[in-house]
Structure 1
């Protein structure tokens, strides 16, 4: 999956502004957390694609050095572990936007402070 820029929905952009004020995190970090939150919920299935009326991110700004990892996780969740029918890049980008949109919506309800973001991360048991 290759892209240089990705535009998210207007609704997600509005919610990111509010989340930034409440948590102090930048929109790109909030999008990463939102993406992982949504991927954890499972595939999008037949949800309508969000609009592209919001903020635009450069690929590296959005995913940093972890772009390949996010793409692999997206493929695994959306295509399944067997990937018998790989999705075309354009469809994967639509689903990436959809996951960010869904995840930002989830975060906007769950995260009222920086401490709420930390609660989203499961604790590791000592080895």
Structure 2
């Protein structure tokens, strides 16, 4: 099983662009953090809530050397949500990425906000 290219929503693309302009953090790093934020949520994200009008991200760019870790995380979550990985792997990864981006938007206005958010999440 492999990830395919993920097309993010236009809203997530704008969010990552805005956060990057305030922090210097690249969209792929923000997307990784967004995925983790979303995976923590108890509810299952609805992929239909997110358009596919944003940019496309290749798995090697999105995950870098951590692709296996993200694969394990999403497979664990799909099992928890009782969703078949063969049918839902990429769709739910896209949904988690987009939901996480929306969650990050109001929380990061500058680099110190990101630093504080990382510290917060490590202590949970």
TM range (shorter): 0.7 to 0.9
Residue of structure 2 in register with 1:116 after alignment: 113
Q: Name segments (4+ residues, structure 1) moved above 6 Å.
A: none
Does residue 34 of structure 2 align to residue 37 of structure 1? Answer: no
Unaligned runs of 5+ in 1: none
Number of residue pairs the alignment of both structures matches: 121
Kindly indicate whether the alpha-carbon contact (under 8 Å) linking 2:32 and 2:63 is maintained by their aligned counterparts in 1: yes
Query: 1:75-100: CA deviations, max 9, x gaps?
Result: 212322xx8x5613341211111111
Structural RMSD (CA): 2.1
Bigger proportion of residues as helix: 2
Cα separation, 2, equivalents of 1:89 and 1:20: 33
Which piece of structure 1 moves more, 10-19 or 35-44? 35-44
Normalised TM-score (structure 2): 0.85
Rg larger in structure:
1
Unaligned runs of 5+ in 2: none
